[in-house]
Amino acid sequence: MKKILSLLFIFALIIGVTGCENVETKKEQKNDKGGYTELNKDSKSLVLYFSATGTTEKVAKMISEATNSNIIEIVPKDKYISDDLNYNKDDTRANREMNDLNARPEIENEINIVQYDTIYIGYPIWWGTNPRIILTLLDNVDFKGKNVALFCTSGGSGIEQSVADLKEYNSEVNWLGGRRFSSNVSQDELQDWINSLNY
Ligand SMILES: Cc1cc2nc3c(=O)[nH]c(=O)nc-3n(C[C@H](O)[C@H](O)[C@H](O)COP(=O)(O)O)c2cc1C
């Protein structure tokens, strides 16, 4: 009986230790700035996303799963509330920002991409292109020489204009192109896109 108990104890110990290792290497959490983060120190790819109402976030999490990438949400210092996003009114915050080529909404969280070779950047389409906060990201984080694939969600507009705009904004990035996904995209469709990327 004693032998069985000690065996059980050793078994429990092994499970416990392995469990702890997992916790240590893979951290899924709301980060201190309220953004969604999942980090594994060994990962070479990262999903970075901005999502005002959660649609792009859902796709971002699926891409992170399919590619085994870490994931970091781009958190605006001033969060967008629904009044800010009402594009039917002229003077709402999102419209003001999109009408101003120089608008650079501040990012709250620190974004470190040194460990990554490939980065997937996702965002909603606003007025046919990327929200200005993506330009803040490019201004503040050094993407030189990184492979960057873009993805977006939208009410129907494609990502092509945004891909062209971002290529023009920073030509030192190895842009891999981009794809628009609908909110109910399947894991297979995402996988096809990931497989098609040319590094
Ligand atoms: C200010 C603003 C402008 C938008 N402009 C477009 C647009 O030009 N074309 C389009 O198809 N959808 C447009 N949309 C819809 C969003 O792209 C779409 O709802 C997106 O999936 C939202 O993603 P999110 O939930 O991650 O923020 C716009 C939304 C907002 C708030």
137: in domain: yes
Q: Is residue 64 part of a domain?
A: yes
The number of folded domains in the chain is 1
CATH of the domain at 67: 3.40.50.360
Residue 3 within a domain: no
Cα angle vertex 131, ends 130, 133, to 5°? Answer: 120
**Ligand 1 centroid, distance to 198 Cα (angstroms):** 27
Is residue 170 situated within a structural domain?
yes
Per-residue pLDDT, averaged over 162-190, amounts to 97
pLDDT on residue 21: 39
Statement: residue 81 has pLDDT above 90: yes
In-domain check, residue 98: yes
Arithmetic mean of pLDDT, 73-82: 97
Q: For ligand 1, atom 17, name the residue with the nearest CA.
A: 154
What's the mean per-residue pLDDT of the chain? Answer: 88
CB contact set of 170 (below 8 Å; sequence gap of 6+): 138, 143
Contacts of 65 (CB under 8 A, 6+ apart): 187
Residue nearest (by alpha carbon) to ligand 1 atom 28: 126
Distance between CA atoms of residues 109 and 46, nearest Å: 15
User: Is 22 among the domain residues?
Assistant: no
pLDDT for position 11: 44
Please report which confidence band the pLDDT of residue 97 belongs to, taking 50, 70 and 90 as the band edges.
very high
| Residue 153 in this model has a pLDDT that exceeds 70 | yes
Q: Residue type at 161? A: Q
Q: Is any ligand 1 atom within 6 A of the Cβ of residue 159? A: no
Q: Which atom of ligand 1 is nearest to the CA of 122?
A: 26
Query: What ligand 1 atom has the least distance to the C-alpha of 52?
Result: 27
pLDDT number for residue 31: 58
Task: Please give the structure tokens belonging to residue 187.
Answer: 């894991």
User: 4 lies in a domain?
Assistant: no
Question: Which atom of ligand 1 has the smallest separation from the CA of 54?
Answer: 25
pLDDT at residue number 40: 78
51 part of a folded domain = yes
Q: In this predicted structure, what is the pLDDT of residue 35?
A: 73
Q: Which domain holds residue 127?
A: 27-196
pLDDT for 3 beyond 70: no
Question: Does position 15 have pLDDT exceeding 70, yes or no?
Answer: no
Taking only the tens place, the pLDDT of each residue in 99-120 is 999 999 999 999 999 999 999 9
Q: Read off the tokens for 25.
A: 């290497």
Mean pLDDT throughout 146-162? 98
What's the gap between Cα 61 and its chain centre? 8
Cα 127 to ligand 1 centre (Å): 7
